Amino acid sequence: MPSAEMASLSLLEQLRTASAIDFDSLDVDTARALGTFDDCTSNQAIAYFELSRRDEQDSAKLKYEGLLQKAAGAARTLHKQHGDDASESEIAVEMAMVLLSLQFAPVVKKHLLVQTNPQLAYSTSRTIANAERIVQHFKRFSPDFDTSRVCVKIPSTWEGIQACRELEQRGVKTLATTLFCMEQTVLAGDAKCTYIAPYVNELRVHFDPSYTDSAKGFALCAEAQHYYRTYGLVTKVMAASLTSIGDVMTLAGLDHITVSPALLQQLHQTAIPRDGKASDTTLEALVPSQVAITIDQAQSLVRDEAAWRFAFTRSDNGKNEAKLVQAINIFADYQNKLQSLVADR
């Protein structure tokens, strides 16, 4: 029978005993109010919504107008000095995302995660250059910041994960994001990514209120973690794209779970049920009895680009590749919005 002390705890407190909890937002005020997190994650959509927020005291102004001007000015100088292959507005977006993330340095214990430009998702070389610029921006704006805490998020295309492979060898931590299947999982593990982010719900659910994902990726999260642990791979699983506290609590016990402020608030305000069950399904019940693909099979697959691409195309009859393409398109749209936001400054 649950103790009185257990009954008084919140689901958020319970979750923190089972998994590392990451803050999936750039709203630093909410993060401070809800306690310490392991990592802070973001992407182009999150950055756009934060950077376009109005000032609470003066609705005619943007809350981060000064930050936007700082990023635009620094990007202008850097672009003139180096003639980089990235445009001035692309560099300004990178810098704005880094400046937002730096606010979390004292709030999170470990990593600040910034996503590369999704429009480079099919270029290994340009993604590497993008990621290395992001690290340099952290050094530029905060010379004392420990850049080993930077982790760069990269879409899980073949080219993106090859970029992760090279960056990890250069000492830059990476997260393979927009991940929907084991084909991507084994490739990211072979590349020694620091994290993968399986999307429990396809990205569309956050932008189309009429849509519900009927094929949530709980089993993939469990299978990916089981695969990595079975073969002693360094990559950790960070579940992403969650839409309810039920989604979150189903995954209690996963390495990492990144959670939006709205869901964190609900978890914080919800007491542990009397029967101790916060979800109808548990992560333990989702773990397969054996790995679906052996390490030898995986290594054979990931060393043959054509074979991997075909296997990925065939995964769930093409649905997983379609989910990746959809996510890249959505993030690319927000990349354009961000570039328009900084272009006038």
Statement: residue 126 has pLDDT above 90: yes
How big, in percent rounded to 5, are the helix, strand and coil portions of the chain? 55, 15, 35
Q: How big is the chain by its Cα radius of gyration, in Å?
A: 20
Looking at residues 108-120, what average pLDDT do you find? 98
> Tokens at residue 257, please?
């779970």
Residue 2: what pLDDT?
A: 45
Looking at residues 103-115, what average pLDDT do you find? 97
pLDDT tens for each residue of 129-188: 999 999 999 999 999 999 999 999 999 999 999 999 999 999 999 999 999 999 999 999
Residue 4: what pLDDT?
A: 45
What is the C-alpha end-to-end distance of the chain, expressed in Å?
Answer: 61
Cβ count within 10 A of residue 169: 10
Looking at residues 291-316, what average pLDDT do you find? 95
Distance CA(191)–CA(136), nearest Å, equals 23
Residue 3 pLDDT class (50, 70, 90 cuts): very low
- Domains of the chain: which residue ranges? 4-343
Per-residue CA distances from 209 to 129, 245, 262, 266 (Å):
36, 17, 16, 19
Long-range contact pairs involving 20-23 (C-beta distance under 8 Å, separation at least 24):
20/255, 20/256, 20/257, 21/256, 21/257, 21/258, 21/259, 21/264, 22/108, 22/238, 22/256, 22/257, 22/258, 22/259, 23/104, 23/107, 23/108, 23/258, 23/259, 23/261, 23/264
> Tokens at residue 64, please?
């981060």
Percentage of the chain exceeding pLDDT 70: 97
Distance CA(167)–CA(145), nearest Å, equals 19
Per-residue CA distances from 125 to 81, 132, 162, 270, 321 (Å):
21, 11, 9, 46, 22
pLDDT tens for each residue of 75-91: 999 988 867 789 999 99
Residue 284: what pLDDT?
A: 86
Looking at residues 113-117, what average pLDDT do you find? 98
Residue 187: what pLDDT?
A: 98
Looking at domain 4-343, what is its CATH homologous superfamily? Aldolase class I (3.20.20.70)
| Strands 256-259 and 236-239, bridge-based pairing | parallel
pLDDT tens for each residue of 24-63: 999 999 999 998 899 999 999 999 999 999 998 898 899 9
Statement: residue 1 has pLDDT above 50: no
Looking at residues 221-237, what average pLDDT do you find? 97
Catalytic residues: 153
E-strand ranges in the chain read 20-24, 40-41, 112-115, 150-155, 173-179, 195-198, 236-239, 256-259
Q: CA nearest 84: which of 134, 143, 154, 133?
A: 133
pLDDT tens for each residue of 264-301: 999 999 999 877 677 777 888 888 888 889 999 999 99
Residue 207: what pLDDT?
A: 95
pTM: 0.94
Distance CA(92)–CA(76), nearest Å, equals 8
Average pLDDT, the chain: 94
Statement: residue 102 has pLDDT above 90: yes
Residue 80: what pLDDT?
A: 84
